[in-house]
Structure 1
């Protein structure tokens, strides 16, 4: 759901930004407004960013290889991080440079004075439709989370990126309208420079936010607390497991979770019964958390003495391992 919704939001934003970028650039050529130039580059950067997100989503679907045995799901995070760099450099820093240049040589808008206002109002309407689509698709997976928590905790990067870009674009358009409007009213080009500077600062802040959140995903995030609780409950729901000695989780991609756990099992003499028990636990985990697609379970015999020593297991106790057939610890298929 998140992947399809993210793609729909990206396509809507891409279509809007391409049209907006063209009209803004025409307005800049007619009027010489630095706010219009900054907004043109902003829309160009956003269009490129949406192209990068689509490319990242497509490349992430590649099958796993011996060189990349866990697949390419996290490639979506890499492209989202590149988006933050593009937004910072091409959008934010360029707008700040243009504001500095315009402040050094301010001049009023002397021709085609109605064009930038009309273009900005039309852009606000188009950007509003794109933002509305992003909100609608996000609500399908956001649940009861606040918007801030959704942006910070979402594992699929596309929707938070589009949400922040569209929100920033709308605020930037308001800043541009303010700068252009005050320039037309007062005849003082410094207002245009001020609007451009506000756009630049806004883009730098959004880019920094995206970079920080995407960096966390690149480093590797574990499952949410509710997912961890569901996995623990599933593991301990049957007679095969006495307790969980320790467990770790890691998102291999937005829709793929790895679970690795050492579990205490009852002593048994049959490798076959041990393997059946492990398979039963894996099946319960996948039922409870469907995105848990890669599961490694290591059986051991629990020892209170070893637990006090910090290992939690009888390190020298031999546990029968299956000689043929299914292995006790393996990624599920």
Structure 2
């Protein structure tokens, strides 16, 4: 109850007790109610005027026989004045409650309530989800919002409830809209299937009409890793052919192991080349962070191939040579071929070392740290394969030399087993490093601290928490941090862009709670937009200072 109403009731009650006024009757009559509604504009009356108004409303339109009841009640009032006074007071309260207006409550914020009343929707989404045309959106309410993409102008969005109402108006009902959606989904699937069938028919037609082999396509992986890998493919392919020819001529177990090693290297390096090519594809809807990890996938497959094909077959062939000895033939041609192979394998090894040293300098790492962290998995695989190849050639030369000198098959068979062991160790290291990269590993701590230090120097940031810097492969980083923003500095930035005199006049014109709420909602929404603008600014600065950051996620704490 309002304080003014309570004071009025007390004044009227005192007047009735002191002056012996008549009690209140028939407050619910129609004329009294109309007078109550009409008297709500008289809230500025004095106490006496309000009391007189309540008395008039209480005694208006008395029923027949009121005089006799009035005399009886006067007698009862003289007998029990306290009871009658309380009855009159309660009736006066009801009369005043009808006269005085009720206070309208402001709607409160409720986080548990689910609503789409104030949601925005883009034009593309409105046309795809609600099946509207551009002409249907022309007369709808629209507004400009900050673009979620970097360096893009503001986007135009519509109110979701207006779009839903327009869709129901266009299609007649929600059921009809849902049926049309299902119908179009079926049409899209049918269209995609037709496109797939047409492409398949075109491929078959080209295959049938082809009269000459197509020229080989030039690989797009022309960076350092691609050059190293393709050079290794050519050299190892030539070595494989020569080793197979020498094995067929001499029957050496060590030479057969080396031929298998070269075959595994060629196959693995072709897989690496495909991984490098695939990793350069742009991000799409299915893979929003791109295909950079394809290098790790291809390197992991290469490690498994080395273990299964190279190590497994080499060890098996060496054991078979120990158990079933064969006649030792002259190995002169094998020595010449292995000597040439040592030169070519050493050349590709030097190319891989140069590429890794260059990458380590760019990442500000040591050579060993760059290799152990697997920063460039493709070049790492080439480096380790060529290192294993050089060691394998030296082992094969030594074992074949002992076989020639001693005339025994045992050194040659043991050499095959040793080469298999080298390949197994290399494959295990490749599988381990690439598996760790696929699971997700952090960037070095000193690099992470450097990014954090630069982020904390911004005037809007008080502190950062839960920082993560994930290596996405090929030197790219995904950075994430929870940021505690300084609201005072953000407000200063917002006020610097506003006309403070206009805001002051607007504040002076606030008279009711509704005006205050509208004022706060207006500027609160603008401040949130300013916060988004500042987050974009901070992310741009970080990416400019640290080009390796591909994705920067700053979450407001």
1:250 and 2:470 are equivalent in the alignment: yes
Could you list the per-position Cα deviations for residues 150-187 of structure 1 after superposition, in whole angstroms to 9, with x for gaps in the alignment?
21113221121111111000000001111111111111
| TM-score (norm: length of structure 1) | 0.86
| Cα distance in 2 for residues equivalent to 1:216 and 1:91 | 23
1:238 and 2:458 are equivalent in the alignment: yes
1:189-228 alignment, distance < 5 Å: 189-228=409-448
What is aligned with 2:289? 70
Q: 1:207 to 1:257 in 2, by over 3 A?
A: same
1:264 and 2:521 are equivalent in the alignment: no
Q: CA deviation at 1:145?
A: 4.4
Q: CA deviation at 1:227?
A: 2.1
1:120 and 2:338 are equivalent in the alignment: yes
What is aligned with 1:328? none
Comparing 151-160 and 80-89, the one that deviates more:
151-160
Could you list the per-position Cα deviations for residues 14-65 of structure 1 after superposition, in whole angstroms to 9, with x for gaps in the alignment?
1110111010000000000011111001001001111000001111122222
| Cα distance in 1 for residues equivalent to 2:473 and 2:374 | 11
Q: C-alpha root-mean-square deviation of aligned residues, in Å?
A: 1.7
Comparing 66-75 and 168-177, the one that deviates more:
66-75
1:285 to 513, 518, 542: 542
Identify unmatched segments of 5+ residues in structure 1.
Answer: 301-333
| Cα distance in 2 for residues equivalent to 1:254 and 1:6 | 10
1:136 to 354, 359, 370: 354
1:9 and 2:266 are equivalent in the alignment: no
| Cα distance in 1 for residues equivalent to 2:306 and 2:366 | 25
Could you list the per-position Cα deviations for residues 209-260 of structure 1 after superposition, in whole angstroms to 9, with x for gaps in the alignment?
1111111001011222232122102211220111102211222332432111
Query: Is the radius of gyration larger for structure 1 or structure 2?
Result: 2
| Residue pair 1:108, 1:184 contacting (<8 A) in 2 also | no
Q: CA deviation at 1:6?
A: 1.3
1:171 to 391, 397, 412: 391
What is aligned with 1:274? 531
What is aligned with 1:317? none
Could you list the per-position Cα deviations for residues 75-133 of structure 1 after superposition, in whole angstroms to 9, with x for gaps in the alignment?
1111100000000000001100000000112234324x311111111100111111111
When the two structures are aligned, how many residues end up with a matched partner?
A: 298
Comparing 244-253 and 289-298, the one that deviates more:
244-253
2:373 to 153, 160, 174: 153
| Cα distance in 2 for residues equivalent to 1:103 and 1:32 | 14
Q: CA deviation at 1:287?
A: 2.1
What is aligned with 1:304? none
Higher RCO (C-alpha 8 Å, min separation 6): 1
